[in-house]
Chain A
């Protein structure tokens, strides 16, 4: 199986769909002639031309609104947010129009739109450029929200996103564009609404998404090697729709769960997971569900403070030990 980077896998999915379907077009800042700030669209301008790779002004509200209109008219636009932090400028378009037009029109109009870009922090971009928005966008009915972490899933889920008749918020693990992984050739759309069991285990469920999945996998290996604890790792990957079954099945087996997220704790994905578990697996819980989240501060710039503000391996390990009633 070919090994490629997250960036290459993402690009290959979009290229494949643009080759397959002429209605797929891209809009964004510096995605054309410049090749994209993160080089996701490098070479596509030359390949598909200015009609399908559209460089836009620095005006998120404008080009997102334009893309919504294009989608309503039958195209399948992919909008690049240079980073998801700039999507606040387009929030009115996304929330008020993209998410609601199908509902308002009684299904007569659909908005097959993908908005994609790097989400989350960890690369010293400071408070205004560091947000994890899965809880924020996951809140709105009418949107689909996904957060793939492996090169395999970023390709498979982008294929699904482009083909979906609804607006999809595609949150990429910006810090992981360069990570490599096996990616099958050809068309393998990964369906939304299915979490991935990244590691099977029986003693505790470690639930995460985005770049925290990799950290959690490392901790699972450490728990197995040093303490004989077999942790099950669940990569949610689809925030809305949300795969309740996989989480419940795992917790019913392990009786304990730690949910890890980079975003802030209040009103977050981890809160949703914890609530689900207590509602539907209460009689299977041997310990309270632990949440490990970002600190309740705007993301700091200073490296030491930034590191301190995001979930650390030690914090996750400590939470796992609490859930396991182990003192180490």
Chain B
């Protein structure tokens, strides 16, 4: 019978947008088949069928914002029949007053009609659609989401929690209660209220890219927004917006802002810059790329810089650390994050074990990650983590810039454009190709001398690019 619900893809996720149905109503689906594409605050994902059956009901429509835990679709197994599959309106109404839904449910399982808002919605609906087979209440489990209470178990929450959940659109079905008898208490939902839930890593660069593409899809709304209002695409707000009317910041913008503010306020940044002679790198890259046929394996300057940083971090492991409280955590692996400008914000996927990957592998992986970051196809595990960040604005004709550290990392490298400059070499005036790089570092973790030596190591590799290919 399973009702497919909006899955929770991260602690901070409150709702997702149904981007696209991949299967039509009435189609037969096998377990594991992707049936819909959804978008969370940061990424687009596919939802797979948890059981084989017929995709009987598409409860949500493309473009709908659906709170976590709310039904999207119904898949009926063989022999099962739909009784009164709920419309989205019914689902909404159910959130307000579960009596309406519970009334359809088998009394033995759902006699808890006195429960307040959001109570047992998923189970009740599951049972409602499964009304002809009340002997199977054990199957009444939300698909995908890890169930925090047993099917049919009454949801207990303090009055305060119920009110706050209604005000903030929190689906209590997804919240484990720590109070007596599993009661959900204020502390249990505090992360949803303060936004203190783990936040995906965000690339810190002080400037936004020059060209900000218009979002192709509705941007996820603020948590407090009503679902109806949430569906307003950002285009409407960005273009032709009357002056003086404040605009809701996108979730990724707010996340970026929050983390950068924390970093700039808490982390004592200092900055060290150097000039890198990129003539050899330019030549090396041209030569290497001339010999590879597929575009995916072509090397960018950023790939060289990423690899150079990874190798330098082997020499300077102190910069490959995270400071948490008073404790410095050394990372066994060197995972370099790449700051990527995406619609309305930044995201920083990382390349695991960057130092151990060949230049070609780095190039292929970076291209894939950046591409999927821009199309919204990153998985949370691809951007939650990383040990050191490279932020490159070289493609935008930037002399130099400084970046804000991506906490809890210890440093971030800001990379400017490669410029043709008059330089003096062996007493002769000649044309050089120079690039400015600036490392922002956490002064609690490291000092100027170490950072300077680290930059020298990066510079040495980039000026002798063959070492990057050989190591």
Chain A interfacial positions (CB closer than 8 Å to B):
255, 282-287, 325
| B110 touches A (CB below 8 Å) | no
- B147 interface residue per 8 A CB criterion: no
With a CB–CB cut-off of 8 A, which chain A residues contact B187?
325
Say yes or no: B160 contacts A283, CB within 8 Å.
Answer: yes
C-beta contact mask, B430-467 vs A, less than 8 Å → 1, else 0?
00000000000000000000000000000000000000
Does chain A have a CB within 8 A of B178? yes
B residues 140-193 near A (Cβ < 8 Å) are 158-163, 178-179, 185-187
Q: Closest chain B residue to A282 by CB distance?
A: B159
- The answer, among A255, A282, A284, A325, for a CB contact under 8 Å with B179, is A325
Chain B residue nearest in CB terms to A252: B160
Contacts A325-B178, A325-B179 given; does A284 touch B160 at CB 8 Å: yes
The answer on a CB contact under 8 Å between B185 and A286 is yes
Would you give the 0/1 interface string for B176-214, flagging 1 where the beta carbon is closer than 8 Å to chain A? 001100000111000000000000000000000000000
A229 to B249, CA, bound (A): 35
Other 6 A-B pairs with CB < 8 A, given A255-B186, A285-B160, A325-B187: A255-B160, A282-B159, A283-B160, A284-B160, A285-B159, A287-B185
Specify which chain A residues have a CB less than 8 angstroms from the CB of B161 in the assembled complex. Answer: 286
Give A2 Cβ to nearest chain B Cβ, in Å: 44
A283: chain B residues at CB < 8 Å are: 159-160, 162-163
B residues near A286, Cβ cutoff 8 Å: 158-161, 185-186
User: For the complex, what is the distance from the CA of A194 to the CA of B317, rounded to whole Å?
Assistant: 64
> Is B159 a contact partner of A284 (Cβ separation < 8 A)?
yes
Q: Which residues of B contact A287 (CB under 8 A)?
A: 158, 179, 185
- List the B side residues contacting A282 at CB < 8 Å: 159
Q: How far is the CA of A284 from the CA of B56 in the complex (A)?
A: 41
Collect the chain A residues with CB atoms within 8 Å of residue B178's CB: 325
With a CB–CB cut-off of 8 A, which chain A residues contact B158? 255, 285-287
CA distance A97 to B355 in the complex (A): 94
Residues on A with C-beta less than 8 A from B185 are: 286-287, 325
List 12 A-B residue pairs with CB atoms under 8 Å apart, sorted by A's residue number: A255-B158, A255-B160, A282-B159, A283-B163, A284-B160, A284-B163, A285-B158, A285-B159, A286-B159, A325-B178, A325-B179, A325-B187
- Chain A residues with Cβ below 8 Å from B159 are 282-286
- Inter-chain contacts of B160 with A (CB < 8 A): 255, 283-286
B185 to chain A, nearest CB (A): 5
- Measured between beta carbons, the chain A residues less than 8 angstroms from B162 are 283
Instruction: Report B-chain residues with C-beta under 8 Å of the C-beta of A325.
Output: 178-179, 185, 187
Q: Could you tell me the distance in whole angstroms from the C-beta of B310 to the nearest C-beta in chain A? A: 43
A284 to B163, CA, bound (A): 8
Of A282, A286, A287, chain B has the most CB atoms within 10 Å of the CB of: A286
Interface centre among B160, B163, B179, by most chain A C-beta atoms within 10 angstroms, is: B160
Complex Cα distance, B162 from A283, in Å, reads: 8
- List chain A residues, Cβ under 8 A from B163: 283-284
* Most chain B CB inside 10 Å of its own CB: which residue of A282, A284, A285, A325: A325
Q: How far is the CA of A286 from the CA of B180 in the complex (A)?
A: 12
Residue of A nearest to B184 (CB): A286
Question: In the docked arrangement, what's the CA distance between A287 and B158, Å?
Answer: 6
> Min CB distance, A284 to chain B, in Å?
6
With the chains together, A140 CA to B178 CA distance in Å? 43
For A285, the closest partner residue in chain B by CB is B159
Tell me the complex Cα distance, A78–B162, Å: 52
Query: Least Cβ distance of A90 to chain B in Å?
Result: 44
Instruction: Across the A-B interface, give the 9 residue pairs with the lowest CB-CB distance, nearest first.
Output: A283-B163, A286-B160, A286-B186, A286-B158, A285-B159, A282-B159, A255-B160, A283-B159, A325-B185
Q: What is the bound-complex CA distance between A284 and B160, given in angstroms?
A: 5
Q: How many angstroms between the C-alpha atoms of A283 and B117 in the bound complex?
A: 12
Bound-state Cα–Cα, A287 to B185, Å = 8
Contact partners of A285 in chain B: CB under 8 A: 158-160
Set of chain A residues within 8 Å of B186, measured between Cβ atoms: 255, 286
Closest to B186 in A: A286
